[in-house]
Structure 1
């Protein structure tokens, strides 16, 4: 009985938050990026590769195959999109609802702090890629939700821990605002085993960025094992001369694995 009541409360809470976000979006109609270009803008800012498949204990491999299909659908909605000055990039405004009726399959999702099956699962990897691109640009991140849990130990990690983005349709979005003078473009494609994400622009940027972590470590507490770090961004001018170092955010996430597994 308790589980049924809790499920009902969660359903109504999600429905309310989605309705509220839809209303907020309607009031901002016209401010979101929508135009797409089939050819590349001339200046390459960054290219990022993410592996599609991982071996995870207790996780059905079919969920990774389904994730690939989900990514194919979402990538087709974003690839080539332009972000002109004054506009905002919204992942969910472009992708739309990841429903079974639109072809999405069950993939890996997070429910109550545990890996689970859910329609549209795996799209967080797309959000991770786009967020990493934005961190290396002059774009302003206006909405991003972090992962409160660290589910699995590292497996050939390519970027610092804690630089991902959590998304839930439609009220947990990933959004970037272009407050500069350049047009930006996101290009996405899938290879046999990778998601490839690129950020391009119509002119050379005034600044260059390098993102790294500091103060990384594990902390054992009475509540469990936690992982922490600090994400910093080194900013240089177009010639490479260092300008400043920015503190982006701190991470402190509960691990769903042991310290031995992390070694």
Structure 2
């Protein structure tokens, strides 16, 4: 019997924003394909199953084309459909440009941009055939405005924005949409390591005077998945930081 529930695949879904997106989509009635480089947290699986949704975990690195193929193939093998892909997997290797090695630059671009491309290309092909689908890419305000010490991260996220707009134009005639989310400072493991003085300096730049929560990015992703008339857009979720 063909699966009637919508299906979402989320990369980098083991923790932080990716985990919040998984739970938010489960609560909205989606079945899930989860992905991460490390073993999934059993508590996440339990939480999703308690909500009443099904989920499958595909372990692997999105820089590997085989992993990208497996994520998409698993959706069709298990659920016979794929409605939404959220490209969330990403890393940082922050250094000032003069101290940044080519390896530092390439590592971030490979995961953030090439990983997004790998999964998008496989999913996009399937979605064109089914004449429906939505791809959501996690960009960043850094990709829109740049930041000292993050040339590699900024380049990768700016690339994601360009990729998003191009995919949106290519997919529109077959009802395949593609959008991006540009989070600002979100309370995750990445921001938890900031020193108090740095945190205070950043908060001074945010009109809402707080970091965002992963669930607030997740609700933006669900909006983009559900609104059928939004494509090629970058939704900034930053508390007014870039006003």
Q: TM-score, normalised by structure 1?
A: 0.27
**Higher radius of gyration, 1 or 2:** 1
The structure with the greater share of residues assigned to strand is 1
The structure with the greater share of residues assigned to helix is 2
